[in-house]
Chains A and B, each alone.
Chain A
Amino acid sequence: MSSTDSVKIILNGKPARIKPGLTVSDLLIQRRMRAELVTVELDGTILQKLDYDTTQIKEGDKVEFVFYMGGGDLKS
């Protein structure tokens, strides 16, 4: 992807290039991540899931994804 048709972001601490105009939802789909199973932080703020569809990722943004970590007892 050349620099003219991409934007540079920091994704989980590493530089990455993505297509311009992607929303958080688009990026999750591209990375095959289910929105309901991840927490997304954008420039230090945890996003509400409702905002994933409308939040566009811009040049220089710092994006962090973490998967849900949970579970429980054998009976559950």
Chain B
Amino acid sequence: MILLSKKTYEAMIEHAKKGFPNEACGILAGPARPPQRLADTGRRTVSEFFPMTNRDNASISYFMDPKEQLVVFKKMRQLNIEMTAIFHSHVASVAYPSRKDIRLAFYPEVSYLIVSLSDIKNPVLRSFKIKDEKVSEEEIKIV
């Protein structure tokens, strides 16, 4: 389960809409996972949203700017938080990982959040784990 504040949720949707008709993307971060010796409840809390530039500038793909990625990774370390999820929008299709999303999912420990803007007035946000090219959906709780 991934826990998002309403403020974070709204920031993500606003960023996606601002990028429309192109795809938009971002990084979500929150408190570090518990040490391995402690039980992991599987719950992840998001405390920060970092809007990123879609360098593809396209409606059917996104590619984060590596320079921005490096800045955000250093910022997360400064804040003692870690990447919880990778976010992007699909502007004309459902909120489900595409073949390309699956092929390029290199962070199995994080969630992949996808918002569909195919009905822009009613965005649909879903979250997935992608490991070894296998997709499993997880619950999102907006608190």
Contact (Cβ within 8 A) A74 B66: no
Residue of A nearest to B25 (CB): A69
Contacts known (A73-B98, A76-B60); A67 close to B107, Cβ less than 8 A:
yes
Name which of B9-17, B68-76, B119-127, B135-143 contacts chain A: B68-76
The reply on A6 being an interface residue by CB < 8 A is no
Residues of chain A whose beta carbon lies under 8 Å from any beta carbon of chain B: 12-13, 37, 39, 41, 46, 64, 66-76
Find chain B residues with CB under 8 A from A73 CB. 23, 59-61, 90-93, 98, 100
Contact (Cβ within 8 A) B66 A66: yes
A37 to B23, CA, bound (A): 21
A37 to B97, CA, bound (A): 19
Residue of B nearest to A67 (CB): B106
Chain B residue total in the interface (Cβ 8 A): 37
Find chain B residues with CB under 8 A from A37 CB. 106
Contacts known (A75-B98, A76-B98, A76-B99); A70 close to B90, Cβ less than 8 A:
no
- Sample (24) of A-B pairs whose CB atoms are under 8 Å apart: A12-B73, A46-B67, A64-B74, A66-B70, A68-B66, A68-B106, A69-B25, A69-B104, A71-B61, A71-B101, A71-B103, A71-B104, A71-B105, A72-B62, A72-B100, A73-B61, A73-B91, A73-B93, A74-B96, A74-B98, A76-B60, A76-B61, A76-B98, A76-B99
